Structure 1
């Protein structure tokens, strides 16, 4: 394998590992809930373990990339290194020869030294080739493999399977059955996976149909915080209004036929309900449009009027409130 190809392969592997680390961080942000430091949930432990494994693999890839670079540099410069060694050996021999002339000693055998040094260098070159082949064999091969990744499979084989399927790293929405990137999905407490458009549509449909409110999956209510960020201001207002209406124990609707909007509690008094949508007022007793005087549907008031009649109390001609004479004349002003 050429060094350029190996470096490119290492770059791809490093990029794939970094993408998986980013995916782990994205999944962490999607999780909600609190827990003690010494008692994290299972998914947090799984994230930590997988993150540690990915980081170790990333360090291994970077080290192998660096080793390949050094090995290839030595291999490509072998000729220049050999020439430099020959020149250096020749210089040493010339120096020894000059010293031997001064001391009238026999020349040392230069052929053996040269042969030994060059042979040793050639052996070292062969060792570099072996290192290249060994590191290539230890990395994630691009060749096809039938190994199925699993908990007991060696990490390199599991990582290879991930890399082979990286372009198809998508999950399926349980509603539309479309394969989408995990960033655009929401995993619910029941483990079902929704794409965000489908989950948002589920909430908006529930806001119009009380029979499916609140939105549920496997009979478990879905928290709107999972998808709230994808709502527009208008859509969120519609949903919150429906939520207020469907959870109210005492519902009052505008008596204006063309409006008929729900009137929430803050817009009501004991006798009237004011509609913000059209401005009409509704009688809280008979649920018709507001009218002057007491309402015959007001049971409490009717009981009071019957009691007042027995006691001889009379309504005030000005304000209509009941009055009785405590002392003085019968004249009222």
Structure 2
């Protein structure tokens, strides 16, 4: 319904209600109303309130339209004002230089803040569609002929090609959400300022911001490592959620937080209320004082020893755990390199605890890399990666040959040759996601040809049984099954682990910017959630993560 029709309906309802209210006989005592009269008065108040909202909306839309029409002129005037301010500063610097004071150089880069999202034409277009559209404006309308046009719309004939092109322009704009994979109207899609300019729908974006308030591993909300500022996406979030996030942001941005020691209060105490000399903090809610060092009630002298904390520190020292210097959490590392990314966002060395890449400690220990290599080899009985790729198939032999032989890769070849009958199926790659085409983004994935081909030694051909089924390429479990003795199986597995170890030793420092799609039931190594259909695997370090973790946690 258009705005004029809605205003007309509201006006008719208001007139009818006022006419009914004027027909009251008024036989009751003055100042008292019957139930019907009270209900009618409340109804008139609601209709008048709705009429006021419509008038205010109409006025706001008029202001917005005027600003949009004069946007080029306003931008030009703003540039002229900025140029005049720069010229004035330059002239003042020349005058001060003649007096022997500090000078201002025009070549000095100006101090610029974060770009205002309201200077983005796309944001303005979406805001106009959200706040200035009516229920029948979901489609991009073509300009209609007005009374000032010289042509007559009824006498103009158009070709079928022109009509088809016009209908194509009338189709709604859509965007693709990288979180849920759905296509939504363009004004319900927010483009975040990450390097790939990904898009999120309202529901997924609100869920991300809501989870970040309770899960510190998701705070601040980010995509591909880039933070998503609230002012960029505020118009796409519910007002209550935006206010809660804005109020909670200073608290969650503080690494070593202090809370009121009273469990009935437990309010966060900002750093501005902490005395740096006495380390005593005052609760802004209940005015009780808390020691900022031991988080106990304020006291004089040294902090008393916390027996539970001392026991935890003793266990951490015995197990060689490391402690984050920012949030004071303990971290245990079992596999992988010594690069630790804490939940608070601080990255440090697991050996000494210093900020990452500021110490001379080794970046990885062989024992942990070997443990990670064993984990990679043993977690998937059907690996599909270049690290230890399945055997490649040779040309098909004539149908007269009914036997098939195979040989595992030798030291001087990078593949296994197979002879079989009939047509040989090609080596399958990772299947594309049916509901998530974003998985196959070319800028996030590289071809297998870019990955180095690593070989591994193999036992003699006499130790391998012939392959009778070539419907799928040989995998680790099938290769181990063909070997006749447990000792031979152990030798192949050991060679594969050594191969993975050498790869991790050279490529353990990973930015997780290239992923592959892996079909099947797998567990995310970050949130430990089990996905029943597929998972993503980093092409470099072979970390497996769900879509939420690879986008918003890593």
Tell whether the structures are fold-level matches, with TM greater than 0.5. no
Question: Which structure has more helix as a fraction of its residues?
Answer: 1
TM-score range, shorter chain: 0.3 to 0.5
TM-score by length of 1: 0.40
TM-score by length of 2: 0.26
Larger-Rg structure: 1
